[in-house]
Structure formats: C-alpha cells, structure tokens
Amino acid sequence: MNYHTPALLHETIEGLDIKPDGIYIDVTFGGGGHSAEILKRLKNGKLIAFDQDIDAHKNTINDKRFTLIQANFRFLENFLNYHKIDKVDGILADLGVSTHHFDIPERGFSFRFDAPLDMRMNIESDFDAKHIINIYTKKELFVLFKKYSEIKNAGKLVEAIISKRNEKEIITTTELVSAIQNCVPKKIENKYLAKVFQALRIEVNNEIENLKIFLQQGVRFLKDDARFVVISYHSLEDRLVKNLFRTGNFEGKQEKDIYGNIVSPLKQFNRKVIVPTDQEIEQNNRSRSAKMRIGMINN
C-alpha cells in the first residue's frame, strides 16, 4: 500500500547528519519512509518512532534497533524517560497529514469524498469534527476558523453552518460542503474548502497545542551537536518552529545580552527555509507546501 511518499526525504536525511551509533527519534512515523532511510544509516544506533494512528502501526519495521510507540508526540518526554534516554542525536517531525489519511474516505479528512465528519488521528478519541460543527457555539466556531484557517468571511461561514444545523444535524463531509456552498468563492473553491477542513482537523486533534508541547520537550533532549528537523505544511506550524529556532520562544521575541547578541537555547542550522525542488513537486504534488527548518543547540 502506498501509505505516504515522504516529503524532502533526501534533505531530511542530510539535515539529520546521522551518526551510525546515534539515537534518533521520528515522531511522525506514518508509512515509515523517513524511518527506513534513517535505519539504513545506523549501525549500532537506535531509532524510536511515534504515531498515535493505529493504521500506521501496520507499517512497523522489523528491526531490533527500532521501536514504534503508539502515542502522540506530546508524550515524547514520558517515553524517553521510560526508555532511560537522556539525550538524542536527532529528532525528526514531518507534520503533514499523510496521503493515506486523505485517500481513505471513512476517515473524513477530505472533502473529495462523502464520509462521516471525523478527522481523528487517534480513532480511540471520542471527539470528532461532527461534534465541533454541531455543538460549538457561534463564537467558538468563529474563533476556530479565524485562528486556524485565516478565512476572511468566517462570519458568513459560521452563519451558514448554524443555519443548516438548526434544520438538521450535519453529519457528513458532503452535508458540510453543501451547507457552506454559498460562502465558497468559485475561483478558489478547493483552496477555501481545504482551509475549512484544515481548521477542523487542527481543532479535532489539538495540533497546535500538541506541537508546542512536543517542540519544548524536544529541545531538552538534544545533545550539543544534535539536529532538530521539522517539516511543516502551513503557516501556523511554520511560524512556531521558525520563532522557536530563531529566538527560543514561540512569540519570536528576541532577548539580547549586554553586547547585543541574541540569547536563545537554539540556533538555526539553515538560515533559509528548505523547500522541495520542482522535480519533487512534479513527482509528489502534495509536497508543494512543505517547509523544512533545522535547529541546533546554541553553544
């Protein structure tokens, strides 16, 4: 099964600067593409991977150097402590939603299919997109769409959802798309709907808060020469990563010493964000919005 084609695969491996005997963490295992390439370069090293989605565990790698943990990456610290790991040589996070999730209709991640409003990465959770659409207040929905999708007509969008759910519960992706059809600009229909579904997915899976928790924990486990590689796919994620790697905080506030030097536990390894080549985008169109940043301990 073509679960997922990893974005920026060559750049990821190069960015991690893998040591044969090092300890590495892949917190977004998915189809295992990145993990498999890391293992090829390890000798006596160790790779620990995380993925909360039970589907991803069907792709596990049979290798004594490899451990796959079914958990969200916000629990990184708990599991590394459990495995008695104090420091690591590299951490990778590929934050994109996999091809698998978009192409499996019943998961409800895509507006291309008629499916239940779900969007749960962890199918054991009881909180899904249907709950948000039908239970959230008008104000809560407005804040959600403004914050996580930056939709300009969020007010009109929310009014359409409230109006339709007052008639009948909205339970499928098709019903949602139909309910908001008059809000969708025809010239950018797919882009608009993608933003709506993105906002719901982020809320369902608490993605931004989980990312913040993970990033802060990850920094504490880096060796002095370790690499922290993060691939993001939308501005909300990328802004958090960029600010943390540049300034040591999510707000991007620069603290300086008496000599005017920026005081931060981290520094950027790559001054310029890394993006896919035209050739990669042609071969894997879903990589087009990928942005890679690499952080290191600031010695």
Residue 2: is it exposed, middle or buried by C-beta count within 10 angstroms (0-12/13-18/19+)?
Answer: exposed
Residue 85 and residue 216 share a domain: yes
Cα–Cα distance for residue pair 146/142, rounded to 1 Å: 6
CATH number of the CATH domain containing 146: 1.10.150.170
Residue 214 and residue 94 share a domain: yes
Quick one: pLDDT at residue 108? Answer: 73
Residue 1's pLDDT band, with cuts at 50, 70 and 90, is very low
Nearest alpha-carbon partner for 211 in 94, 114, 110: 94
3-state helix, strand, coil in the chain (%, to 5): 45, 15, 40
Higher pLDDT pick, 49 / 264: 49
Q: Which residue has the tokens 């600067």?
A: 17
The answer as to whether 117 is a domain residue is: no
Q: Which of 165, 189, 204 is the last residue of a domain?
A: 204
The answer as to whether 257 is a domain residue is: yes
Residue 215 and residue 287 share a domain: yes
Residue 95 and residue 211 share a domain: yes
- Grouping H, G, I as helix, E, B as strand and the rest as coil, residue 239 is helix
CATH number of the CATH domain containing 24: 3.40.50.150
Residue 224 and residue 76 share a domain: yes
Cβ density class 36-47: b for 16+ within 10 Å, e for less: bbbbebbeebbb
Residue 81 and residue 40 share a domain: yes
- Interval 34-81: pLDDT, tens: 999 999 999 999 999 999 988 888 999 999 999 999 999 999 999 999
Mean of the pLDDT values across residues 229-247?
96
**pLDDT value at 2 more than 60:** no
Q: How far is CA 3 from CA 31, 56, 102, 105, in A?
A: 5, 8, 10, 14
The pLDDT > 90 percentage for the chain reads 82
Residue 50 and residue 36 share a domain: yes
DSSP conformation class of 294: E
Which structural domain, as residue segments, surrounds residue 24? 9-99+207-297
- Interval 133-175: pLDDT, tens: 999 999 999 999 999 998 999 999 999 999 999 999 999 999 9
Quick one: pLDDT at residue 202? Answer: 96
**pLDDT value at 32 more than 80:** yes
Residue 245 and residue 285 share a domain: yes
**pLDDT value at 7 more than 60:** yes
Quick one: pLDDT at residue 206? Answer: 97
The answer as to whether 105 is a domain residue is: no
The answer as to whether 145 is a domain residue is: yes
Residue 260's pLDDT band, with cuts at 50, 70 and 90, is confident
Residue 74 and residue 139 share a domain: no
The answer as to whether 78 is a domain residue is: yes
Cα–Cα distance for residue pair 196/297, rounded to 1 Å: 37
- Interval 97-138: pLDDT, tens: 766 666 677 787 888 899 999 999 988 999 999 999 999 999
Residue 223 and residue 199 share a domain: no
The answer as to whether 1 is a domain residue is: no
Mean of the pLDDT values across residues 234-243?
96
Q: Which of 157, 176, 204 is the last residue of a domain?
A: 204
The answer as to whether 3 is a domain residue is: no
- Grouping H, G, I as helix, E, B as strand and the rest as coil, residue 23 is strand
Residue 5's pLDDT band, with cuts at 50, 70 and 90, is confident
The answer as to whether 116 is a domain residue is: no
Residue 169 and residue 145 share a domain: yes
Q: Which of 181, 204, 227 is the last residue of a domain?
A: 204
Q: How many domains does the chain have?
A: 2
DSSP for 185-217?
Answer: -GGGHHHHHHHHHHHHHHHHTTHHHHHHHHHHH
Residue 215 and residue 291 share a domain: yes
- Interval 269-296: pLDDT, tens: 998 999 999 999 999 888 999 999 999 9
Cα–Cα distance for residue pair 10/292, rounded to 1 Å: 12
Quick one: pLDDT at residue 261? Answer: 81
